[in-house]
Every structure is written in structure tokens, then in C-alpha cells.
Amino acid sequence: MPLDLPEDLERYIEEHVGPVSPLLEELERWTKEETGRPGMLTGRVEGALLRMLVRITGARRVVEIGCFTGYSALMMAEGLPEDGELVTCEILEEYASIAQGYFDRSPHGKKIRLVLAPALETLRGIAGESVDFVFIDADKELYPLYYEESVRILRSGGLIAADNVLWYGRVLSPQDEDSRAIVSFNRIVRQDGRVEKVMLPVRDGVYLIRKR
Ligand SMILES: C[S@@+](CC[C@H](N)C(=O)[O-])C[C@H]1O[C@@H](n2cnc3c(N)ncnc32)[C@H](O)[C@@H]1O
């Protein structure tokens, strides 16, 4: 769910990221119409930002926490070289099988390995300092734990992008568990001397965090 920008300005921004592939167009449309959870999808602007970050950092190994129907995974896979790998974590079979169906139809799908398991388990099985880029986009109350694991598996100079860090603006006055978890995560990152960071007001807020 994006922060509120006037609709025509939203559309203007979307038009200026350039076209996305017909398969991604289809996946976006299908997800919006069929899942009843359109707000979970990163969409074309944030997706294009992630693809750009993967490309300009020269990432070869990417981990995504929260696959859903596979939109952001496919976007990031487009930014990977042919021998790159993206591990995407999903806990629900229903979403995993939809995502896998789209990965199988994409020329970039062979770079993606979908792991159907709690993300924390998957992260704990990944060797330290072996990953170039992590995208955090799953259950908000676990963000602090995902963050610790992400810093552990990242190489020095590697990048984390954490989604929804403005949480519809609720970070200013947190009233529920998820809002408090995001506030606590943001504070941990802000105080962490192991990383440099910048918070971007893209969609629902993206925290970019570089391991020193
Ligand atoms: C916000 S959606 C991800 C959206 C996706 N990145 C995209 O752009 O389309 C979060 C996803 O994380 C999954 N999820 C929630 N808890 C999880 C967990 N503990 N381990 C793995 N996946 C989880 C949810 O089922 C959901 O599909």
C-alpha cells in the first residue's frame, strides 16, 4: 500500500520507469485481481528500483525474504547476470506455487530458487558473508531478527533493502504490534555502527542499508 501521492502523479512516476515485460504486466494484473492482497505487491516503481540496485551493485547472490506471487523476485532476477542466483523465501504453499508458475515462464526464472519454509530457517542455513543483496519484505514483527541474519550473511559492501519502513505513516504514532516492530527495527538500524543507511520515501518507505 503506497503512501498517498496524488493519483495522477503516481501514474506519471510509473510511466517514467519504462515498460515492464508482458509477463510482469500479467503477474501484476493477476495478483491485483485474484489474491485480494494488491497492497503486498511491490509494483513497477519499487520493482524497478530493486532491479537497478541489483544491477549497479553487481550483485551475483541475492536473498529475498517474502516472495508472495513472485513480482519483486522476477524484477531482481532481471538485474542479475546469467550465472546469478536469487533465493526467495515463502511460507505459504499457495503463493509459492503461483510464483513458481511465473518463474517457469520467464527467461530469468532459472536464476531463482524458491524455498518454501519459514524465512528465518532458510536464512540460518546460509553461510556468513556469502550474499551481495538482501530484500526484506515479510512479517513485520520479525524484521529485527531478519536484519541480524541479513547483516551476518552479507559480504562487506553488500546492501539490504527493507520494505514498508514507513508503514503507511504509522511509524510516527505506533498503536499496534506491526507498527511497533517497524519502529523498533528502524531504531536498531539507525543506531547500528556496522552499516550506513538512507531511508527513501518510495511507495511505503524503503530503507537502504550498506554493510561497511
Ligand atoms: C509483502 S509480501 C511479499 C511481496 C513480494 N516481495 C512482492 O513484491 O510481490 C510478504 C510475503 O511473505 C510471506 N511470509 C510471511 N511470513 C513469512 C515467513 N515467516 N517466512 C517466509 N515467508 C513469509 C507471506 O506469505 C507473503 O507472501
In a domain, 183, yes or no: yes
Spacing, Cα 88 to ligand 1 middle (Å) = 9
The answer to whether residues 132 and 53 touch, using CB atoms and an 8 Å cutoff, is no
Pick the residue whose CA is nearest to atom 19 on ligand 1: 118
Average pLDDT, the chain: 96
- On whether residue 2 sits in a domain, the answer given is no
- Average pLDDT on 62-87 reads 98
User: Which ligand 1 atom minimizes the distance to the CA of 71?
Assistant: 9
Closest to 197 measured CA to CA, from 152, 150, 160, 153? 160
Question: Within a 13 Å sphere around the CA of 158, how many CA atoms are in the beta-carbon half?
Answer: 21
Please report which confidence band the pLDDT of residue 3 belongs to, taking 50, 70 and 90 as the band edges: low
C-alpha grid cell for residue 41?
505487491
Number of domains present in the structure of the chain: 1
- Name beta bridge partners: 177: none
Q: What is the mean pLDDT of residues 155-172?
A: 97
pTM: 0.97
89 C-alpha vs ligand 1 centroid, how far in Å? 7
Percent of the chain with pLDDT over 90: 96
Alpha carbon distance 164, 169 (integer Å): 10
pLDDT at residue 2 is higher than 90: no
CATH code of the domain in which 74 resides: 3.40.50.150
Query: How much distance in Å is there from the Cα of 158 to the middle of ligand 1?
Result: 22
Question: Does 120 reside within a domain?
Answer: yes
> Which residue's CA is minimally distant from atom 11 of ligand 1?
66
Rounded Cα distance between 24 and 71, Å, is 7
pLDDT mean over 129-150: 97
How far apart CA 61 and CA 157 sit, in angstroms, is 13
Print the SS3 string covering the chain: CCCCCCHHHHHHHHHCCCCCCHHHHHHHHHHHHHCCCHHHCCHHHHHHHHHHHHHHCCCCEEEEECCCCCHHHHHHHHHCCCCCEEEEEECCHHHHHHHHHHHHHCCCHHHEEEEECCHHHHHHCCCCCCEEEEEECCCHHHHHHHHHHHHHHEEEEEEEEEECCCHHHHHHCCCCHHHHHHHHHHHHHHHCCCEEEEEECCCCCEEEEEEC
Q: Identify the weakest region by mean pLDDT among 1-10, 42-51, 55-64, 65-74.
A: 1-10
Please give the grid coordinates belonging to residue 107. 527467461
pLDDT in tens, 17-60: 999 999 999 999 999 999 999 889 999 999 999 999 999 999 99
Q: Which three cell numbers stand for residue 148?
A: 541480524
Full domain range(s) for residue 112:
7-211
- Whether 176 shows a pLDDT value over 60: the answer reads yes
Q: What is the mean pLDDT of residues 143-154?
A: 98
How many whole angstroms from 21 Cα to the centroid of ligand 1? 23
Task: Tell which residue, 37, 26, 54, has the closest CA to residue 135.
Answer: 54
Closest Cα to atom 16, ligand 1: which residue? 139
Pocket test of ligand 1: the residue of 123, 139, 163, 165 to mutate, having most ligand atoms within 8 Å of its CB, is 139
Cα of 193 to ligand 1 centre, how many Å?
28
What pLDDT does residue 4 have? Answer: 77
Decide if 46 is inside a domain.
yes
User: Where does ligand 1 bind, in terms of residues with CB under 6 Å?
Assistant: 40-42, 66, 68-69, 71-72, 89-92, 95, 118-119, 137-139
In single-letter form, the type of residue at position 80 comes to: L
Q: How confident is the model at residue 5 (pLDDT cuts 50, 70, 90)?
A: confident
